[in-house]
């Protein structure tokens, strides 16, 4: 409803075994506020890619680290923030993936950031102190 804000949070260990739980957490919120199945599946994928990148790149697969996830919405936007205290990601060094080139070089990563940008309306990276935040917004 316009004017009211709904915010939910989840803290998980940085491990791919929690991916399904993280996807279901954001999907439940999106369903609650009445998003259509296409938007819900896009949000599930965007959060999956962002969380996977934190596990692999910010925390280098150390499952003892934590990731805080916040999802919120008002009448106009839905936003998802993921916060970690690992290595920060510099989006200015990022290029759009060339699939053919990656196949030839047998590189299989680097597609998550591109997907997130395609799936969401705004993506911001912030660093405050030791905390990195990726904030993804979908206009409703």
Partner 1 sequence: MKNFSIATRQKQNVSILDIKGELDAHTASQLENALKSLIDEQNYAIVVNCSGLDYIASAGLGVFMAYIEDVRSLGGDIKLTNMNERVYNVFDLLGFPSLYDILEDEREALESFEN
Residues that bind partner 1 (CB under 8 A): 16-17, 19-20, 23, 38, 41, 44-45, 48-49, 52, 55-56, 97, 99-100, 102-104, 106-109, 111-112, 114-115, 118-119
Q: How far is the CB of 98 from partner 1 (least distance, A)?
A: 9
* Residue 65 vs 102, nearer CB to partner 1: 102
| CB-based contact 81:133 (threshold 8 Å) | yes
**Cα separation of 58 and 132, whole Å?**
9
Q: How far is the CB of 79 from partner 1 (least distance, A)?
A: 20
| CB-based contact 62:14 (threshold 8 Å) | yes
Sheet with 122-128, side-by-side order of all strands: 6-13, 66-73, 77-84, 131-139, 122-128
* Residue 78 vs 113, nearer CB to partner 1: 113
């Amino acid at each position: 409803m316009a004017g009211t804000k709904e915010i939910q949070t989840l803290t998980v260990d940085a491990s791919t075994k929690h991916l399904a739980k993280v996807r279901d957490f954001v999907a439940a919120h999106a369903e609650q506020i009445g998003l259509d199945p296409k938007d819900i599946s896009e949000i599930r994928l965007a959060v999956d890619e962002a969380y996977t990148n934190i596990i692999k790149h910010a925390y280098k697969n150390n499952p003892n680290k934590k990731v805080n996830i916040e999802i919120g919405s008002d009448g106009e936007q839905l936003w998802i923030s993921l916060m970690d205290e690992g290595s920060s990601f510099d989006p200015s060094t990022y290029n759009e993936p060339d699939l053919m080139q990656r196949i030839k070089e047998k590189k299989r990563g680097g597609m998550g950031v591109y997907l997130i940008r395609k799936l969401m309306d705004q993506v911001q990276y912030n660093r405050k102190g030791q905390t990195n935040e990726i904030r993804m917004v979908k206009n409703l």
